[in-house]
């Protein structure tokens, strides 16, 4: 591999990571903070259970999923699951130094690439018994009475589903999706 091709490959990986971070920052929120807990575990590969390191921890934590487990598309398929329609992957960077021994000296060749992964919450069809539990991450939930009164008084209130990996409103299906209430750090603040 000549130096020019290697350099453009590295730049592509760096650009993918940089673009991802910029999109997170431009979203208007602090991408590495969320008001709910995602478990006490660092992001890790679902199959190997190996924790991601370096920039990968930042990128995956910023994705705001309550589960720390991530899979490649192929791993999802191997487990008999599928990625939910409309879900997008997240980049994880892999790097390694290869040592090439020459006539007079050893050459160190950096190898850098990225893979695309999905959080287990973005997938369906994976048998429940294969998905690790996040026990110990919940706190006692105490409802905010004023908020409950507002919701109760709505003439056509949307259904509230508390099983999602993020908080959102779906206008086309008229429902509010959010993580389980017990996963929130506090009833009022992040």
pLDDT per position in the chain (190 positions), as tens?
444 444 445 557 778 777 877 877 787 656 556 556 554 467 889 988 888 888 888 888 877 777 889 999 999 999 999 999 999 999 898 888 888 877 777 788 888 888 899 999 899 998 877 776 654 445 566 677 887 888 888 888 888 887 676 677 777 778 888 777 766 766 665 4
Q: How far apart are alpha carbons 62 and 89 in whole angstroms?
A: 13
In terms of C-beta density within 10 A (0-12 exposed, 13-18 middle, 19 or more buried), how is residue 71 classed? Answer: buried
pLDDT, position 88: 92
Whose CA is closest to 83, among 119, 47, 46? 119
Lookup: tokens for 109: 């060749």
Neighbours of 177 (CB within 10 A): 18
pLDDT of residue 33: 62
Q: Tell me the C-alpha distance between 44 and 119, whole Å.
A: 10
User: Quick one: DSSP state of residue 47?
Assistant: T
Task: Report the run of H or E that residue 32 belongs to, with start and end.
Answer: none
Structure tokens at 58: 């930042």
């Amino acid at each position: 591999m000549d130096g020019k091709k290697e350099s453009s490959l590295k730049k592509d990986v760096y650009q993918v990571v940089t673009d991802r971070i910029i999109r997170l920052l431009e979203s208007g929120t602090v991408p590495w903070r969320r008001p709910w807990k995602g478990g006490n575990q660092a992001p890790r590969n679902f199959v190997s259970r190996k924790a991601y390191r370096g920039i990968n921890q930042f990128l995956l934590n910023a994705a705001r999923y309550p589960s720390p487990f991530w899979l490649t598309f192929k791993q999802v398929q191997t487990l008999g699951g599928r990625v939910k329609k409309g879900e997008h992957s997240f980049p994880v960077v892999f790097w390694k130094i290869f040592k090439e021994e020459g006539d007079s000296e050893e050459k160190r060749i950096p190898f850098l690439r990225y893979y695309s992964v999905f959080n287990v919450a973005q997938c369906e069809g994976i048998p429940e018994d294969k998905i690790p539990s996040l026990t110990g991450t919940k706190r006692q939930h105490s409802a905010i009475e004023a908020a409950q009164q507002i919701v109760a008084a709505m003439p056509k209130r949307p259904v509230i589903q508390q099983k999602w990996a993020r908080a959102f409103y779906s206008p086309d299906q008229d429902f509010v999706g959010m993580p389980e209430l017990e996963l929130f750090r506090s009833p009022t603040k992040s």
